[in-house]
Chains A and B, each alone.
Chain A
């Protein structure tokens, strides 16, 4: 395995499904940051076989909702002074805003200029969310 220097302050996104790391990278807009960022792909994992992993040396706060939707099961570790200070495992968020859009052509959100549309988790198994206006189901 390639050796990457230990993170001093920042965030580690671990247990990303193998092959999904780049998508997470893009969706979180990490390409727009000036911080040091490492994306590791196909890292060996005892639990997952292979996984992706992202290390970000930063002070920024992440939109965990996006991440939970993209990759439920991601482990987020906040690091300070080289130590893990907080660790959490993401799951599908109950609500997301501004990430999904409604595909129902009869929905008001597709004809009027609205703010970000809120979607509520409707089926966890199928990762389906219901539009706040028309209740049509949407997936990422």
Chain B
């Protein structure tokens, strides 16, 4: 591994994250300035498990920078289905591409690939492990709507035990000053101890609550997480607890007028449809921010930024 890669959020310094957020802001304001920046560059997107949402986001990002995309989105069509090792696939792809994006069901696969190639590698999700561009997307969304990434009270609600997106967001937000976190979940799906230990060690204040209504009025950001039925031991258990996770218009009426509501999507039923039309609901806008932050990331990793980009 010789090039800069993004395997986990910890690969970026706090300054670099702020830089990417600013660069994405520039791209949003003046996309035409960046429309040919990646001309002649090729991105290989290797999706060893399907994720239309994430693949489209990366592909759109590269195409809007004037670059081109090759790859596969179905593992059955890749050479690994013929028994080729990941390392060999990666070395083959590197001989064509300038940048590799990897989605893989195995935890650590993108890091393994990065060990074998000299071009930048971006982790587009490895099982339940890391999904750093989702975290960057969340940060850009927050920054765009709050004008800052510090001095914020952030509530995360739902399945906090298994939601890696949430763990990653919490520990990355914790790197900014003045962040206060509220964890809202039933006892059974509380934030894991190691995440809380990490926050305590960094001196980041957090609270736990089992009721969304009682804390929603204090939040600047409400981050809803996906709740999967299969996490529960029984259907009765699911039915008993599911109301905790559902955001309704009624509950949202207790929130401040400038609270923003986020969700990584796709949602199951955590957010009632009547919330969608509320101006505070940003989850559909998040996808667009996801493309812009990926554009910024591609420029950063390929070293294609120019002086004045942030102006």
Which of chain A's residues have a CB closer than 8 A to the CB of B126?
A: 108
A-B contact count (CB 8 A): 43
Number of residues on chain A facing chain B (CB within 8 A): 15
Contact with A along B120-142 (1 / 0, CB 8 A): 00000011110000000000000
Q: Are A108 and B108 in contact (CB under 8 A)?
A: yes
A108 near B107 with CB under 8 A, answer: yes
What are the interface flags for A99-135 relative to B under an 8 Å C-beta threshold, 1 for contact and 0 otherwise? 0000010111101111000000000000000011111
Could you tell me the distance between the alpha carbons of A107 and B128 in the complex, rounded to whole angstroms?
Answer: 10
Closest to A134 in B: B107
The docked-state distance in angstroms from the alpha carbon of A113 to that of B129 is 20
Contacts of A106 in B (CB 8 A): 105-107, 127-128
B81 within 8 A of A: no
Tell me, yes or no, whether B169 is within 8 Å of chain A by CB: no
Residues on A with beta carbons closer than 8 Å to the beta carbon of B86:
108, 112
Main secondary structure of the interface of A (DSSP, over half): loop
| B residues less than 8 Å from A111 (CB atoms) | 106
Cβ-defined contact, A134 with B112, below 8 A: no
Write out the residue numbers on chain A whose beta carbons fall within 8 Å of the beta carbon of B111.
Answer: 108, 132-133
Contact partner, B87, options A107, A109, A112, A133, Cβ 8 Å: A112
> Within 8 Å CB of B128, what residues of A?
106
Scoring A residues 32 to 68 as 1 if CB is less than 8 Å from chain B, else 0, what string do you get? 0000000000000000000000000000000000000
- Whole-angstrom CA separation of A121 from B128 in the bound complex: 22
Q: Is the CB of A131 within 8 A of B85?
A: no
Task: Flag whether B182 is at the interface (Cβ < 8 A).
Answer: no
Name the distance in Å between B27's Cβ and chain A's nearest Cβ: 32
Q: How far is the CB of A133 from chain B (nearest CB, A)?
A: 3
Contact indicator B85/A108 (Cβ below 8 Å)? no
Bound-state Cα–Cα, A28 to B159, Å? 45
Q: Which residues of A contact B105 (CB under 8 A)?
A: 106
Closest to B106 in A: A108
- Select the residue from B109, B111, B126 with max chain A CB neighbours within 10 A: B109
Given A108-B107, A111-B106, verify A134-B129 contact (CB < 8 Å): yes
* Pair B85/A133 contact, Cβ less than 8 Å: no
Closest chain A residue, CB of each to CB of B86: A112
Chain A residues within 8 Å of B104, by CB: 108
* A-B CB proximity, top 8 nearest: A133-B108, A134-B107, A108-B108, A108-B106, A108-B109, A134-B108, A108-B112, A106-B107
Q: What would 7 more interface pairs be, CB under 8 Å, given A106-B107, A107-B106, A134-B107?
A: A107-B108, A108-B112, A112-B109, A131-B108, A133-B112, A134-B108, A136-B107
Residues of B at the A interface (CB closer than 8 Å) are: 85-87, 104-109, 111-112, 126-129
**Chain A residues near B (Cβ < 8 Å):** 104, 106-109, 111-114, 131-136
23 pairs across A/B with beta carbons < 8 Å?
A104-B107, A106-B106, A106-B127, A106-B128, A107-B106, A107-B107, A107-B108, A108-B106, A108-B107, A108-B111, A108-B112, A109-B108, A111-B106, A112-B106, A112-B109, A112-B112, A132-B111, A133-B108, A133-B109, A134-B107, A134-B129, A135-B107, A136-B107
